[in-house]
Chains A and B, each alone.
Chain A
Amino acid sequence: MTCSARLQQWLCFIGTELHKGLFIPLFDQKAPEGTKPHTLVKSRSRLDFLNGHLTGREFLLDRFSVADAYLCTVLNWTKPTQVDLAPWPAIRDYQRRIAARPAVAKAISEEYALYEAELVRHRAA
């Protein structure tokens, strides 16, 4: 196993199990009825696994990495998709911790302003 395999592991986990596996079906307004509850049930094992890994850890790897940039980005979507992280306190604490980093907070606040402008644009269209 090469050194980059561990980073690759987490990037793939976030991309497939969380981004595409959990959040995309929840965002999909045309998803058939029953998709969302099924997705939430199926994702429990993924969130359990992630919560276990993050328990007692500050980051996914030894220090802040691009995998943390990706994970905190998808965890932002728990709000619009109404995924309650209460059963996974290590993920919830991780999200708060990462979002408080100056570079992360700056990126999120800038893009949130752009997102609000996008909503205004769409309403006006």
Chain B
Amino acid sequence: MELYFSAMACSLASRIALYEAGGDARFIEVDPKTKRTLDGADYLKIYPLGLVPLLRLDDGSLLSENAAILQYIAARYPNAELAQYDDMQRAPAAMAVFHRHGIA
């Protein structure tokens, strides 16, 4: 697994998730200005939008979008319980908060 990241960008969340899970990945730094990896590759050829994070999975395919990558990491390391959910019985109370804020 390879994680394309830029320093202190939103890809930091994936590094945090991996460290919390005790997981491992090869971290490949992308310069946000030049859009080149620090080992010299043209990142726009890897991912035309030039955005991080981007995860290269073990089968070679690419997964983009922070929320998707974070859930992938959580699912890959289930013992770390990084996607533990609220008790759904509390959902009505949560929805009341939403209504009070005029969000739903």
Judge whether B7 and A118 touch: CB under 8 Å. yes
A61-76 near B? 1/0 per residue, CB < 8 Å: 1111111011011101
Segment from A6-14, A31-39, A87-95 that makes contact with B:
A6-14
A64-B82, A66-B82 known; A1+B70 contact, CB < 8 A: no
Tier of interface size on chain A: 35 or more
A49 to nearest B CB, angstroms?
Answer: 5
Q: Does B8 contact A (CB under 8 A)?
A: yes
Tier of interface size on chain B: 35 or more
A48 to nearest B CB, angstroms?
Answer: 7
6 closest residue pairs by CB, A with B: A103-B19, A115-B7, A66-B70, A114-B7, A11-B67, A69-B16
Interfacial residues, chain A to chain B (CB-CB below 8 A): 1, 3-4, 6-8, 11-12, 15, 19, 45, 48-49, 52-53, 61-67, 69-70, 72-74, 76, 101, 103-104, 106-108, 110-112, 114-115, 117-118, 121-122
